[in-house]
Copies of this chain bind each other. A is one copy, B any other.
Amino acid sequence: MGRRRQSVTIKHVAADAGVSLQTVSRVINNEPNVRPAMKAKVQASIDKLGYVPSIAARRMSGSRSYLILAINDRDRTIADWQARDGRDWVDQMLLGGMLTAAERGYRMIFELVDTHSDHVERELGAAIAALQPDGVIVTPPHSENPQITGFLAESGIPFARIGSTEEGPGIRMTMGDELLAGKATDHLIELGHTRIGFIAGPDEYSLAGWRVDGWREAMENAELDCEGLLEKGDFSFESGLPAARALLDRATPPTAIIASSDQMALATLDVAKERGLRVPQDLSIVSFDNTPVVRFCTPALTALDQPIARTAARAVELLIDLRNNGIPEAPVVVEGELIVRGSTARAPSERKN
């Protein structure tokens, strides 16, 4: 098995155009100080020969690898995958980031890393040493793991923290969770609901807290009481069941519930059926995810669409342009919207308050 060679290299182009290697390099990198005539001549040779630069060689020689690394939590990703659901994060990250990266001549590579392992740094370090990416995208809960963010900061590789606004190194990005929760709450208030329950996600995720904040603020703005209307889950279907039951077991149960994940929203739907409650006539439900399942369950759920793909795309752009623009001071917000479907309706008329 001999050495495998690139079919057309910069040398062939240089020879064909009758210029030096360096000039060809300048043209493909769109560098200044190349005369238009020269540029055209070189470009013609490139097109004629179908030359494409090797990213391996570029990495070897230059300061860029044209690779963006996206890391996700392995346990959660595999668990979601085996459950055959909720994989939208990975999926959307992939597509949003991949397409944007490809447009700029970059590639995105996914890496699954265990957040809760004591050798996160080693695992992540190995990936970085092997690939030498130009940027790293870190998703929750990695993005809030100081071991990981610290390691990345130390290694000097630019990175974007998605779902983390805490001061610190890296580009901070969110999907406006407070705003989203506020939108959902306002929607329900407009429909006349006054007792709006909220099922939160685990504390490990800052965004879980922001969502609660957004709900609480909207409630207080409307002078509504939050007392006893907050339950906690861990985003899973199973955790949603007791949370929904606790809310609906109250003496004056909520007429609407916002769940922090689609799985917990589906659990709420199940509990409603179990209690003989009609959705949306007796109980309105809003989900915080907008994965396919919430469209096809009955009724289709009103949901908050988190623009994960757009966020990933934006992260890729910011990382690529970092060398020119530097990192944004403030957190970058890529906001989503409320998609109204069949699970929310006017509040049932009250007999007593």
> Given contacts A107-B131, A290-B84, A292-B292, are A56 and B60 in contact (CB under 8 A)?
yes
The yes or no answer to A261 lying at the interface (CB within 8 A) is: no
CB pair B63–A60 under 8 Å, yes or no, is: no
The yes or no answer to A348 lying at the interface (CB within 8 A) is: no
Annotate A317-339 by CB proximity to B: 1 below 8 A, 0 otherwise.
00000010000000000000000
Pick from B87, B112, B130: contact of A55, CB below 8 A: B130
A281 CB to nearest B CB, Å: 17
CB pair B295–A2 under 8 Å, yes or no, is: no
A147 CB to nearest B CB, Å: 16
A243 CB to nearest B CB, Å: 19
Annotate A133-157 by CB proximity to B: 1 below 8 A, 0 otherwise.
0000000000000000000000000
Annotate A106-134 by CB proximity to B: 1 below 8 A, 0 otherwise.
01111110000000001001100111100
The yes or no answer to A6 lying at the interface (CB within 8 A) is: yes
Which residue of chain B is the closest to A266 with respect to CB atoms? B296
Residues of the B chain whose Cβ atoms lie less than 8 Å from the Cβ of A95: 77-78, 81, 87, 90
A14-22, A46-54, A160-168, A199-207: which lies at the interface: A46-54
> Given contacts A52-B125, A291-B84, A292-B85, are A1 and B63 in contact (CB under 8 A)?
yes
Pick from B57, B63, B110: contact of A94, CB below 8 A: B110
Residues of the B chain whose Cβ atoms lie less than 8 Å from the Cβ of A132: 4, 6, 54, 56
Pick from B50, B63, B290: contact of A125, CB below 8 A: B50
CB pair A91–B87 under 8 Å, yes or no, is: yes
Residues of the B chain whose Cβ atoms lie less than 8 Å from the Cβ of A107: 109, 130-131
Residues of the B chain whose Cβ atoms lie less than 8 Å from the Cβ of A293: 292-293, 295-296
7 contacts between A and B (CB under 8 A): A1-B323, A52-B125, A56-B56, A56-B65, A78-B95, A102-B111, A296-B297
Could you list which residues of chain A lie within 8 angstroms of chain B, going by C-beta atoms?
A: 1-4, 6-8, 50-57, 59-63, 65-66, 77-78, 81, 84-87, 90-92, 94-95, 98-99, 102, 105, 107-112, 122, 125-126, 129-132, 266, 290-293, 295-298, 309, 323
Task: A1-B323, A266-B296, A298-B298 are known; give 13 further A-B pairs, CB within 8 A.
Answer: A3-B61, A50-B122, A50-B125, A54-B129, A55-B130, A60-B60, A78-B95, A81-B91, A81-B92, A81-B309, A102-B111, A108-B110, A292-B293
